[in-house]
Structure 1
């Protein structure tokens, strides 16, 4: 089963959501903005992505620019910041078993789902 970490205000995330629906691909939806994930869950996502936490940070967001851009922040601190400020997290994220991807560009999503 696919897990979709979703932010409904994100057009790319909605695109993946619509694709899963249209293709009738079973999935579990995790609305991480309205229902923040746990620290343990986020760490497991990072492990499945095989990426450092920095890869999940949306550095073009105003919140990042105003509050975090000039600070030296540890990986553990970033995990807490992302849980408290989910709008800073890249999206969508798709998880399938022990693998995960950030679903950008969309072609990457289709390729991931076919594996």
Structure 2
């Protein structure tokens, strides 16, 4: 089973979902802007991505630039910011078992299929 953390307004996210729909995998589509991450879920996804929390941040978003850019933030603070502002989370995130990728470009999904 594969979970895609999806934003239907995002072209890259729609492309990733389309790629997944053309596989024989069972897919769970999680619209994370409506169905928010819990802190535990977000930490688990970051762990599966094998990245630091800052690598999940969309640092060119106005919210980030206006409020957080250039500040010294701990990993926990960054996680809290992502929970408060889920729009800052890179997308789409695709998870299968204990592996995950940020599917930009969509072909990165092939790494976990």
In 2, the alpha carbon distance for the partners of 1:111 and 1:41 equals 21
2:47 maps to 1:41: no
**1:38-77 to 2 correspondences below 5 Å:** 38-77=38-77
Equivalent residue for 2:97?
A: 97
Deviation at 1:24, TM superposition (A): 4.6
Equivalent residue for 1:2?
A: 2
Q: Could you tell me which runs of 5 or more consecutive residues in structure 2 were left unpaired when the two chains were aligned.
A: none
In 1, the alpha carbon distance for the partners of 2:111 and 2:67 equals 36
CA RMSD of aligned residues (A): 1.2
Preserved CA contact (<8 Å) 2:19 2:106: no
Preserved CA contact (<8 Å) 2:59 2:65: yes
In 2, the alpha carbon distance for the partners of 1:100 and 1:22 equals 19
Deviation at 1:112, TM superposition (A): 2.7
Equivalent residue for 1:18?
A: 18
Q: Secondary structure at the match of 2:112?
A: helix
Preserved CA contact (<8 Å) 2:46 2:52: yes
Deviation at 1:97, TM superposition (A): 0.4
Q: Secondary structure at the match of 1:36?
A: coil
TM-score (norm 1): 0.91
TM-score (norm 2): 0.93
Q: Secondary structure at the match of 2:28?
A: strand
| Number of aligned positions between the proteins | 113
